[in-house]
């Protein structure tokens, strides 16, 4: 343990910390692991601890009674997606959905991802300026996951708001007073109910008339003769839609922001576009879109040199682990040539992100097009504003000026 003073966890929710949480995360990692609330909460930002907990057989993802779920709303907790389930339900549901997300299935989407990227860039070409989040990083993953699921494009504006409110509720309530926590829970509750009602309608339509989309596949899905129940179907659709809305947008924006701040590295991709994939891996380590997750210690579990007691919540600061000097030398340096393998940005173990191949492909396609097709891109530093979310990290707004968009 170092002599660096440990900040309170609440500092992560301080608006002044949002633009650069990494000094605070480094101090929390240095002090890790540590316990709070009489041992009911154990926190670690060390890579080795996070990796071990994510793979530990006593690590439960049923966080529904935990601090982390406090804002999620009652019915959302009663209707958990498989993100928050343990075996055997987790194994059964994940297996059904994973058929659509294998690297081979995702690779088939590449031409469509390229076409949507081109269309979005063309939309900004004449203005000479691009609001990166609203015009590229957000609409690309939203269009792709909606098309995969079979959600009509005209419905997008309706569920964008529900998705943001649910994402907001999926973060720990650091620093919230009880009124703020209650109003966040209420907003999430309404969003969850509206989402469920929307999908009930869509599921009925697809039952009557199946289409070539993931929703119809899931309705038909049989795994050892077991179908998904209607509630499981809805929870799965909401999970995919929220994951598809709120995470990859951060990866695309955080990567492009890092490249604009390191023009030498942007130039490397311009000269060798295949390096876009390396920039994505480096950003996952350096500025993770999902900053933390948690597990419940069932029957107790070691977290480094602490024994988390039965029922304790173990908070894993994944973004701190990405800058652990024990694993990544000179960790605060953004260097796409370092070959950053072993980061935990997509977690590890049984809940390893199912959407990782899709997120990687979308982000690589967008960053490659950005680096090779925009001439003289320049960051408008004053425009940069972050989402007020301590877990799902990324800019809310980011303006880039450029000379022209060249043909792809
Ligand atoms: C850069 C983008 C993304 C990041 C950083 C990310 C990160 C993560 C992380 C850390 C987890 C594990 C959470 C935990 O177990 O506590 C996870 C799980 C998951 N992610 Fe992603 N994700 C991304 C994109 C996506 C996309 C695009 C989809 C699908 C459309 C997706 C679908 C899922 C699903 C279904 C799970 C649950 C897996 C399970 O519980 O077995 N993710 N993701």
pLDDT string in tens for the chain (408-residue length)? 445 689 999 999 999 999 999 999 999 999 999 999 999 999 999 999 999 999 999 999 998 644 444 444 454 455 688 999 999 999 999 998 998 898 888 999 999 999 999 999 999 888 899 999 999 999 999 999 999 999 988 888 887 888 887 877 666 666 556 677 777 778 788 888 888 999 999 999 999 999 999 999 898 887 667 778 889 999 999 899 888 888 999 999 999 999 999 999 999 999 999 999 999 999 999 999 999 999 999 999 999 999 999 999 999 999 999 999 999 999 999 999 998 789 999 999 999 999 999 999 999 999 999 999 999 999 999 999 999 889 999 999 999 999 999 987
The predicted structure's pLDDT at residue 1: 45
Using DSSP, state whether 151 is helix, strand or coil.
coil
The predicted structure's pLDDT at residue 344: 98
Report if residue 111 sits inside a domain.
Answer: yes
Give, using CA atoms, the residue closest to atom 9 of ligand 1.
Answer: 346
Q: Which of 15, 71, 77, 8 lies closest to 43 in space, CA to CA?
A: 8
Give, using CA atoms, the residue closest to atom 42 of ligand 1.
Answer: 355
For the CA of 250, the closest atom of ligand 1 is 1
User: Is ligand 1 within 6 A of the CB of residue 145?
Assistant: yes
Report if residue 3 sits inside a domain.
Answer: no
Residue 144 belongs to domain spanning: 9-401
The predicted structure's pLDDT at residue 66: 45
The predicted structure's pLDDT at residue 115: 98
Report if residue 406 sits inside a domain.
Answer: no
The predicted structure's pLDDT at residue 236: 92
The residue whose two tokens read 């959302």 is: 76
User: Is ligand 1 within 6 A of the CB of residue 289?
Assistant: yes
Report if residue 229 sits inside a domain.
Answer: yes
CATH (domain of 100): 1.10.630.10
Report if residue 293 sits inside a domain.
Answer: yes
Report if residue 408 sits inside a domain.
Answer: no
Report if residue 1 sits inside a domain.
Answer: no
User: Is ligand 1 within 6 A of the CB of residue 106?
Assistant: no
Q: Ligand 1 centre and the CA of 380: distance in Å?
A: 31
d(CA 350, CA 341): 19
The residue whose two tokens read 């490397």 is: 268
Count of other CB atoms within 10 angstroms of residue 99: 13
For the CA of 247, the closest atom of ligand 1 is 2
Compute and round to an integer the Cα radius of gyration of the chain: 21
Question: Could you tell me where the beta strands, DSSP code E, fall in 289-365?
Answer: 293-297, 301-303, 306-308, 313-316
The predicted structure's pLDDT at residue 43: 98
Report if residue 186 sits inside a domain.
Answer: yes
The predicted structure's pLDDT at residue 174: 62
User: Is ligand 1 within 6 A of the CB of residue 315?
Assistant: no
Q: Are 32 and 306 in contact, with CB atoms under 8 Å apart? A: no
For the CA of 239, the closest atom of ligand 1 is 35
User: Is ligand 1 within 6 A of the CB of residue 254?
Assistant: no
Contacts of 195 (CB under 8 A, 6+ apart): 159, 162, 166, 234, 238, 241
Structure tokens at 402: 């450029």
d(CA 68, CA 312): 12
Structure tokens at 140: 């690309």
Structure tokens at 269: 């991709």
Q: Which of 318, 395, 390 lies closest to 353 in space, CA to CA?
A: 318
The residue whose two tokens read 């509206």 is: 194
For the CA of 288, the closest atom of ligand 1 is 5
pTM: 0.94
The predicted structure's pLDDT at residue 181: 72
CA angle 236, 251, 117 (to 5 degrees): 90
**Which CA distances in Å does 363 have to 60, 223, 350?**
30, 32, 24
The predicted structure's pLDDT at residue 157: 82
* Structural domains of the chain, count: 1
The predicted structure's pLDDT at residue 311: 96
């Amino acid at each position: 343990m170092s002599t660096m003073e440990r900040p309170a966890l609440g500092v992560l929710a301080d608006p002044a910390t949002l633009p650069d949480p990494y000094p605070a995360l480094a101090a929390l990692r240095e002090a890790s692991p540590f316990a709070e609330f009489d041992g009911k909460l154990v926190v670690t930002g060390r890579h080795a601890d996070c990796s071990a907990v994510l793979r530990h057989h006593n690590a439960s993802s049923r966080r529904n009674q935990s601090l982390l779920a406090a804002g999620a709303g009652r019915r959302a907790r009663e209707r958990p997606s498989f993100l928050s389930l343990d075996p055997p339900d987790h194994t059964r549901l994940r297996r059904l959905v994973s058929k659509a997300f294998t690297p081979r299935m995702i690779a088939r989407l590449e031409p469509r991802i390229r076409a949507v990227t081109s269309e979005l860039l063309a939309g900004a070409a004449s203005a000479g300026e691009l609001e990166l989040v609203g015009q590229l990083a957000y609409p690309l993953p939203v269009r792709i996951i909606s098309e995969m699921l079979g959600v009509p494009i005209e419905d997008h504006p309706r569920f964008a708001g529900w998705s943001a409110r649910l994402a907001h509720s999926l973060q720990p309530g650091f620093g919230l007073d009880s009124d703020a926590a209650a109003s966040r829970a209420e907003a999430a509750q309404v969003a969850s109910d509206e989402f469920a009602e929307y999908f009930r309608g869509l599921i009925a339509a697809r039952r009557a008339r199946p289409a070539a989309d993931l929703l119809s596949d899931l309705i038909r899905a049989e795994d050892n003769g077991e179908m998904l129940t209607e509630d499981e179907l809805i929870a799965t659709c909401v999970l995919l839609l929220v994951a598809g809305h709120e995470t990859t947008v951060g990866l695309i924006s955080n990567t492009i922001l890092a490249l604009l701040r390191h023009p030498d590295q942007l130039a490397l991709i311009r000269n060798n576009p295949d390096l876009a994939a390396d920039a994505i891996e480096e950003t996952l380590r350096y500025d993770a879109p999902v900053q933390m997750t948690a597990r419940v210690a069932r029957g107790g579990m070691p977290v480094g040199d602490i024994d988390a007691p039965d029922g304790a919540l173990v908070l894993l600061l994944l973004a701190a682990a990405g800058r652990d000097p024990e694993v990544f030398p000179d960790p605060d340096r953004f260097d796409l040539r370092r070959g950053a393998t072993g980061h935990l940005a997509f977690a590890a173990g049984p809940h390893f992100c199912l959407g990782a191949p899709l997120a990687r492909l979308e982000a690589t396609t967008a960053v490659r097009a950005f680096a090779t097709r925009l001439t003289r891109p320049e960051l408008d530093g004053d425009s940069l504003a972050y989402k007020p979310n301590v877990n799902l990290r990324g800019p809310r707004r980011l303006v880039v000026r450029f000379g022209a968009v060249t043909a792809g």
